[in-house]
Structure 1
Amino acid sequence: MRYSFAIVLLISPLLFGAACNAENPEPAIIDPVKNSITIKIGEKVFTATLFDNSTATAFKAMLPLTLSMTELNGNEKHFRLAQNLPTRASNPGTIHSGDLMLWGANTLVLFYETFSTSYGYTPLGKIDDPTGLAAAVGSGDVTVNIDLQ
């Protein structure tokens, strides 16, 4: 009986910590320098910051990438990745120009317009200053290079 009580005392902080982590989402951004990437579209280069989550970590491990992104809805470019990434989708309510997100488990989406949405996405990061992004991506499909900064 004494050993059971001791085991409960030893593992209770682990159980309590897990419960706290389940209730609190992962922090948005950690060290911006360590999580900085570049997104090159034509001659225009944007700096973006990845969020501190397992999806962004898995995505970062795939870099560098050269993607032929497809136009969709006049507000986003998307690309189906070769592998699934961890997901934690939620509805952001509003998408902002420069948001980099994952739809489903393997569709990378770069948004170049701000609008309301009812869809769920897993956030990856965001372009630090999206000025000129819509002009850079244009109205059709586009080649995008993403790399570590």
Structure 2
Amino acid sequence: METIAITMNKSRSILYATMGLLLGMTSCNSSNPAQKADASGSASNRTQVTSDAAEGTVKITIGSKTFKATLENNATVAKLNSLLPLTLDMTELNGNEKYYHLATRLPTDEINPGSIQNGDIMLYGDNSLVLFYKAFKTTYRYTRLGRIDNPSDLAEAVGHGDVTMTFELE
């Protein structure tokens, strides 16, 4: 009886190893070079996305002012674009930024930019959308989303408190 159990365990091991090898070989198929992005934030999502949906421009409306922003070409932007349009009640922080905690987690590829520029749009963590309206030095890490093309009136448009903004693809 013990010999039969050992033989069955070896047979199962060989079967599982063969199935794993076959699955691994099919996932390495060179005829399928594109990799779909998901919101898990795993290292495989840190590769650059080449889809047109992952880059382009977004229109940001703040009160009666409208700003155009150029977006990065990355998995984070691809996922964010799938959520647009969004109207968000952005919260004031530190006299230099407005932020909103998204309900959806986005993939990240955090860097320390060293300094933030007026008009930078970043992701802090995996769900905090941040729009900066003043330049400053930073030690924090962010995922780049894009940048407002002409931020000269941005500080005036966002004001000193919380503000409602609409983000939509252009």
Question: TM class by shorter-chain length?
Answer: 0.7 to 0.9
How many aligned residue pairs are there? 129
Q: What is the TM-score of this pair, normalised by structure 1?
A: 0.79
1:78 to 80, 99, 121: 99
Which residue in 1 is equivalent to 2:142?
Answer: 121
Say whether the 8 Å CA contact 1:50–1:125 is kept in structure 2: yes
Match of 1:16 in 2: none
Cα distance in 2, alignment partners of residues 38 and 87 from structure 1: 22
SS at match of 2:139: coil
CA distance in 2, matches of 1:35, 1:138: 27
Partner of 1:101: 122
CA contact (8 A) 1:88 1:122 kept: yes
SS at match of 2:76: helix
Q: Is contact 1:30–1:51 with CA below 8 Å preserved after alignment?
A: no
> Does structure 2 retain, via aligned residues, the 8 Å contact 1:86–1:105?
yes
1:50 to 47, 52, 71: 71
User: C-alpha separation between the residues in 2 aligned to 1:30 and 1:62?
Assistant: 16
4+ runs deviating over 3 angstroms: none
SS at match of 2:80: helix
CA distance in 2, matches of 1:72, 1:56: 23
2:111 paired residue among 82, 85, 90: 90
Question: Whole-Å Cα distance in 2 between the matches of residues 139 and 83 of structure 1?
Answer: 27
Question: 1: CA distance between counterparts of 2:152 and 2:59?
Answer: 15
- The CA RMSD measured in Å over matched residues stands at 2.5
Counterpart among 119, 128, 132 of residue 153 in structure 2: 132
- The equivalent residue for 1:64 is 85
Asked which structure has the greater CA Rg, the reply is 2
Question: Between the two proteins, what is the percent identity of the paired residues?
Answer: 52
Higher helix share: 2
Alpha-carbon displacement from aligned partner over 1:97-148 (angstroms, at most 9, x marks no partner): 1000000000000000001000000000110110100000000000000001
The answer to whether 1:110 aligns with 2:125 is: no
Partner of 1:35: 56
The normalised TM-score by structure 2 is: 0.69
Q: How far apart are 1:92 and its partner, in Å?
A: 0.2
Gapped regions of structure 2 (runs ≥ 5): 1-27, 31-43
Q: Secondary structure at the match of 1:40?
A: strand
